Structure 1
């Protein structure tokens, strides 16, 4: 990926996983819980990044680092989170996030998931 293909403010180590959604894997380690691993990822959203419904084979713990993100978790009202806000998405819950601000929004996502399964499963 060339610098001109990446929006300003997006890290050069980021990988685009959907239009306007960039992921930077920070660490991945086995846990003391058999069959589980932890994956920590920085996720960067452009304002025009479309939300997509998905779930994970484990828990996702989120902390918003920059910008304003709206989260929609199945069975719950939408919630808007700003820098310093945190939330947990339970195992298997369908959810989506979107940038509702003007600039880049960033979250730190920590996943405690079943090892060997896809990290993210898109819901059509």
Structure 2
């Protein structure tokens, strides 16, 4: 009976912890956007950190309008992405192109190529704040 209780408790704990993580992964996959976290490190500037993420876009997928609590440097690794920054006309970048997105600037990106697109995103952000704030 004691073993059964331990297994039941472990199962409930695993479900409570893993379910939100799996839901986020499934949601991202359904949206056609995948993220691989590569680096997170404190900077020499108090309260700031650098985060580097590889973002994969399925063909035709558009990321929702969002902003970051700091600057983003986007480098297109593969494919073609159309970026639209608030108040600016769309800009199409191909593999090897870069884009600077100022702190708090609302923006979106769309895969306009025929295959997948990959972006290496480097963020210089305020530590402890959520990396992405979706527009309402």
TM bracket (short chain): 0.7 to 0.9
CA contact (8 A) 1:17 1:23 kept: no
TM-score, normalised to structure 1's length? 0.85
Higher strand share: 1
* Unaligned residue ranges in structure 1 (runs of 5+): 1-14
Structure with the greater alpha carbon radius of gyration = 2
Q: Which residue does the alignment assign to 1:11?
A: none
State yes or no: 1:116 paired with 2:116. no
Pairwise CA distance, 1:16: 6.0
* Unaligned residue ranges in structure 2 (runs of 5+): 1-24
Question: Which residue of 53, 57, 80 corresponds with 1:45?
Answer: 57
Question: For the residues of structure 1 that align with 2:42 and 2:85, how far apart are their CA atoms?
Answer: 27
TM-score, normalised to structure 2's length? 0.78
> Residues 115 and 16 from structure 1, CA distance in 2 versus in 1: closer, same or farther, beyond 3 angstroms?
farther
1:94-109 matched pairs, under 5 angstroms: 94-109=106-121
Aligned length: 110
> Residues 62 and 16 from structure 1, CA distance in 2 versus in 1: closer, same or farther, beyond 3 angstroms?
farther
Q: Which residue does the alignment assign to 2:74?
A: 62
SS at match of 1:81: strand
SS at match of 1:28: strand
> Residues 85 and 51 from structure 1, CA distance in 2 versus in 1: closer, same or farther, beyond 3 angstroms?
same
SS at match of 1:34: coil
Pairwise CA distance, 1:50: 3.0
